Amino acid sequence: MNQFESWAIAYAKDIWAGVGPLVGVLMGGYITNRNQRKQRIIDSKKEEYRELLESMSKAMSTFFFDRARLLPSGTDRVTLLATTSSNVMEIIQTRIFIAPVMTELTVLPRWRAALELPQRNEADTVCADHWDDTRRYT
């Protein structure tokens, strides 16, 4: 090995001693950021599923209470049923991270169909079937 080669190797080692830690920090930051982003997406999906299931559960309870004549009659009853229904529809239509799954499962059409069932006196069994289908994928 001649003098130039040994000098180049020593110079490269000196440069790498200064640049190496910087590259390591940048790579570590990138990996950490990527993992945190994945975890945020997972947490967001979990929160959106929780909100959807919570609102559907509350709505189904309200509708079953109404069917059992446990809700007060009058405008309060109509307002409660309309508000409950619109809350669920809003959640179905505004969730970003679980939208593809809800589209695949046809959650909105099933919800609309479930809302029409009490008028046809088929609500008890069919609503439970829709509920079970929806919960199976979460």
> In angstroms, what CA-CA distances link 134 with 47, 56, 100, 106, 128?
16, 10, 14, 9, 10
Q: What is the pLDDT along the chain (138 residues), one digit of tens a residue?
A: 567 677 778 778 888 888 888 888 889 899 999 999 999 999 999 999 999 999 998 988 888 788 777 777 777 878 888 888 889 999 999 999 999 999 998 999 988 888 776 555 554 555 555 555 655 555
Please state the pTM of the whole predicted model: 0.67
